[in-house]
Structure 1
């Protein structure tokens, strides 16, 4: 049994990590930590967890914790990760790994040196639909891949209104923008299917100098982009075109189009209001619908229920890696590489030229 301690047990963790871990064989949530004892105790009571902490270091050091889950705001990730590594514990981090590409590399090397399993929660990497599309492309179902197109909605980021409580997302230092969160997840999913980007040109338009805060009547300064526009080349030579557009409401879905020498594959959501890394897809090859085989769906969760299914699939991989004594996929090194990709997007947008992805 892998005993998990979740740091940042309210908010996102409460609707993703905690239910995913509770629903999987081989895991037990033994501890939670938040910023204060009262909220930690409340989260522990709500989820039936025996231990509650107001200090992440104390959670990481506890002998009843084998795996530390980092689900706090991005600027706080590095400190919790280091506490887990110092305690010799396996560690899972939410994406983004940190707010600085150089620090992401540092954390990846530190985690490897610690000899623990380390992984980053990029749910699209474990989407059964994305894995099935990857296998179709690899098997030559559309011939040689020639171009990949992705259009996706990044709501509620990037629009004229930001939900109350998310004002910090208008500051790049917060690590939660349409580039870092939405484009990060979407690009990781696209690369899972079509292969890595090697170079690109990009634009990061910003439509709003200020944004409204929900229905409060307040406005705040905005220093982050509204859209991510990218044109590039994949490792196999195919071209890639990506548009992630912002909005102030519920995301209106996504479109993936993979054009090959012998056919075209398209994918989109089966229901409205979902992100591509959270849900199941409608996949068509040559206009004919193709069903994802049941063997790709390995968790006891319905993808119609939101992000829990793909988060659970991620934890299945983490569990296998711990039991088999091997690196998890994707690990902190993969996360650091994705940070470098997003940094290349920013450089390309500033220079107006092409940038390579190291």
Structure 2
């Protein structure tokens, strides 16, 4: 195992800048998830750690070694791709042990490592099967087993669950997390799915347009997003945003452009400041003291009810965990739960402390 330090890394394809001085410290044994929308640079960064892309500037260290100029095979990392990339003419056992065979490892050592990895992943009964005889989840486990047998310092995962159905993705998330807890190997995991990031990571790195917007523990990003992008990206359903003005007259109050007023615990900005108030759907409640709203759409899921409501000229999503009898067109009164709002500067998008 080893730490990974990404220091002021830049990547350019000709005149096009892809990564703009990205720095990410990854501790030995840490599970770090790079998350962001398509095109944010997260997969490019992962490939640079693996040695599959050259670095335009900056430095990547694995353990004590600077690996900028090292070929992939010399970096002691193992990568699991979105595409399983299994050899169709080889058995599961042969696929898992192939990289060791290329190294010239003794056959008995290969067999021992393959058996051990198969036991960890529940693949022992499948070792003599071929990829065409496996389900999608089983193929992904074989790809993970192929990485495990190498006993690398760092695991790299590039959206490994994207090809699986929703139920299997949930199961595989648990398996990968359990695998990390057992092996304690430093892991860098790329995904565009923020639910994967929240449920699996020790540390999340939110990327956007080739820059790091924020990094930290999952609940830290959820509770205190640094800016509008992180606030809107982390959390499902996404945070509601309302433009308005801060009024300081006794108790601080937010007055929306549509005329609604919401009392605040703290201000953090001057009277008359243009701000954006953020409130998560799960932090809105039906209350007699709330703001008038009209129900537009009701989506019951069993354990929760997702409702889209219109408050003045603003549409908002509400997530209720009570069994409310809501119907489209119904008038209700809603308000944020105390202490559960976020304020952002309208001009910069930065969080107002």
**Which bracket does the TM-score occupy, shorter chain normalised?**
under 0.3
Higher strand share: 2
Q: Could you tell me the TM-score, scaled by structure 1's length?
A: 0.22
Higher helix share: 1
Q: Could you tell me the TM-score, scaled by structure 2's length?
A: 0.22
Q: With CA pairs under 8 Å and 6+ residues apart, which has the higher RCO, 1 or 2?
A: 1
